[in-house]
């Protein structure tokens, strides 16, 4: 989603609480009290009141040249608690002058500073120490992420923050293994290639996984010896600012619409290279031989994970006609059982959407689905009376021309479509402008192989979904972007290749 402000701007030149009480009430058994299924008492969250986080919000300025500073204009903007709509803090609002200051500082750090001149091993050690600090402050970071974003605290603390540490360790390991080649050439010449950092990397991180995307982008850029300017999402600036602060102790991802603007601006300026990981409308294909109970659970996870705010969400659920009716009934029942409530409470599966804009957008899509003739099987309304909660929603009888099947909703709305055979579903799945990911659920290795090779997407998950590892590349085809995040493939985003040719006299061999 395009951000309207240049918020939480970070540029950095490198020169070299207990876990049990982060929010009031600790982790006692009381955390699960008052959580209700949306089909019964929707007001339970409001009745008890939201848990009050006790972590302090200390970093709300821009980080430029290693110092936290106010915006040149003095402007700030509020970042909100999506559980209540109340202001958490006011964050410095960057403008053109601030961008220029940040880029100048990052360029000076690259040209004159020690970071790109360090040995690769020294850079690796710093990244490893940063990963240690992320682990040390796991609970504070997870609390900020949940407070600012609305995702379940258990998801943030047990999965996402540890994954950030894992990613930085992965790229620390690559830092001293980036090397070129000796190339055989015709004639008496010695030819070698050097892999050099590109310089200043400008990076845009989204609001759905703010800290995780920070790691996806900053980790490989720093490992390759670059300096970085980051634009955080205006909805969720707090954790990136906190993480950037941790670097003191050591010494672009977004919607397809945003990506088009970024690419156009890059072409107009100096043809700088751009990597884009953009939107998606990923198919999740349930074949006729599938174990329906398992398929329902996996399809549910593929769509509703992170409040549906996931670029690769399995938001087009294709189900074979022979198992379609059974799947619909069980998918509806699973959605009704989904626990919605305060994301700081134990056992909650779904918190609020990130902000009022996203909340209203999703409700408009739900109304569109109803008006276009899809059958509303579950949900369809807000959950409770306060905050940006939406009931887990399931539509059946969905067809490709409906907006809920064509456009990226980025919310807890499952659209279920019926298909007859593999050729048909391949054609329909590939008809989207997007090509980020796909899921396939089948017991047949032949079916899996056919679909794996036929689907025009960047990732295919067979009998699983959302499997992310530091070493597994991630990115899309078509309007889902180009280039890859994570793994060895991401390093090429931050390196440029130089050929060095030297004449040889009387060589013993060529």
Residues designated catalytic: 277, 311
Give the integer Cα–Cα distance in Å for 142 and 239: 8
DSSP 503: E
Closest CA to 415 of 313, 326, 307, 293: 313
Closest CA to 459 of 442, 434, 441, 439: 439
Question: At CA 281, angle to CA 279 and CA 446, rounded to 5?
Answer: 125
From edge to edge, which strands make up the β-sheet containing 459-462?
A: 375-378, 393-396, 413-419, 316-320, 283-286, 437-441, 459-462
Going 45 to 49 to 51 to 55, the CA torsion angle's sign is: positive
Give the integer Cα–Cα distance in Å for 368 and 398: 12
Q: Which residue has the tokens 């006729």?
A: 288
The pair of structure tokens assigned to 104 is: 């100048």
193, 181 Cβ separation under 8 angstroms: yes
Closest CA to 164 of 226, 123, 211, 225: 211
Q: How many CB atoms lie under 10 A from the CB of residue 43?
A: 13
Please classify residue 52 by burial: count the beta carbons closer than 10 Å to its beta carbon, then call 0-12 exposed, 13-18 middle and 19+ buried: exposed
Query: Diameter of the chain by CA atoms?
Result: 87
DSSP structure string for 46-80: HHH----B-------SEEETTEEE--TT--EEEEE
Mind spelling out the 3-state secondary structure of 292-342? Answer: HHHHHHHHHHHHHHHHHCCCCCCCEEEEECCCHHHHHHHHHHHHHHCEECC
Give the integer Cα–Cα distance in Å for 201 and 266: 13
Give the integer Cα–Cα distance in Å for 442 and 393: 25
153, 138 Cβ separation under 8 angstroms: no
């Amino acid at each position: 989603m395009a951000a309207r402000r240049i918020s939480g701007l970070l540029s950095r030149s490198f020169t070299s609480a207990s876990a049990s009480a982060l929010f009031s009430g600790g982790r006692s058994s009381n955390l699960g009290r008052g959580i209700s299924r949306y089909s019964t008492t929707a007001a339970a969250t409001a009745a008890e009141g939201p848990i009050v986080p006790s972590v302090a919000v200390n970093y709300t300025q821009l980080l430029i040249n290693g110092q936290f500073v106010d915006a040149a204009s003095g402007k700030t903007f509020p970042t909100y608690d999506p559980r209540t709509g109340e202001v958490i803090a006011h964050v410095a609002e960057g403008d053109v002058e601030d961008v220029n200051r940040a880029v100048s500082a990052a360029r000076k750090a690259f040209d004159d500073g020690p970071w790109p001149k360090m040995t690769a091993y020294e850079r690796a050690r710093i990244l490893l120490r940063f990963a240690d600090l992320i682990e040390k402050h796991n609970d504070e970071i997870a609390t900020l992420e949940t407070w600012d974003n609305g995702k379940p605290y258990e998801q943030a603390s047990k999965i996402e923050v540890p994954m950030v540490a894992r990613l930085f360790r992965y790229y620390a390991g690559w830092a001293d293994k980036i090397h070129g080649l000796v190339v055989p050439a015709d004639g008496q010449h010695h030819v070698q290639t050097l892999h050099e950092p590109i310089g200043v990397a400008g990076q845009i991180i989204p609001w759905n996984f703010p800290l995780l995307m920070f790691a996806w982008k900053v980790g490989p850029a720093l490992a390759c010896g670059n300096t970085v300017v980051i634009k955080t999402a205006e909805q969720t600036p707090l954790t990136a600012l906190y993480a950037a602060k941790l670097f003191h102790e050591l010494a672009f991802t977004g919607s397809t619409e945003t990506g088009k603007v970024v690419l156009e601006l890059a072409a107009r300026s100096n043809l700088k290279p751009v990597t884009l990981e953009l939107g998606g409308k990923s198919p999740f294909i349930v074949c006729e031989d599938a174990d329906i109970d398992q398929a329902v659970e996996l399809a549910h996870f593929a769509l509703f994970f992170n409040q549906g705010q996931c670029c690769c969400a399995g938001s087009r659920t294709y189900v074979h006609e022979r198992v379609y009716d059974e799947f619909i009934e069980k998918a509806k029942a699973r959605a009704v059982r989904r626990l919605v409530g305060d994301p700081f409470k134990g056992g909650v599966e779904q918190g609020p959407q990130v902000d009022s804009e996203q909340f209203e957008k999703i409700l408009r899509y739900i109304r569109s689905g109803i008006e276009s003739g899809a059958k509303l099987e579950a949900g369809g309304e807000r959950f409770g009376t306060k905050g940006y909660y939406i009931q887990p929603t399931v539509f059946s009888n969905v067809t490709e021309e409906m907006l809920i099947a064509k456009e990226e909703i980025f919310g807890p709305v499952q659209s279920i479509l019926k298909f007859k055979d593999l050729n048909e579903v391949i054609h329909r799945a590939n008809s989207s402008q997007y090509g980020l990911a796909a899921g396939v659920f089948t017991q047949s290795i032949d079916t899996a192989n056919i679909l794996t090779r036929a689907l025009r997407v960047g990732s295919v998950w067979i009998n699983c979904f959302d499997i992310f590892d530091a070493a597994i590349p991630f990115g899309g085809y078509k309007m889902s972007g180009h280039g890859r995040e994570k793994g060895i493939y991401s390093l090429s985003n931050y390196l440029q290749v130089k050929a060095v040719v030297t004449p040889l006299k009387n060589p013993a061999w060529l």
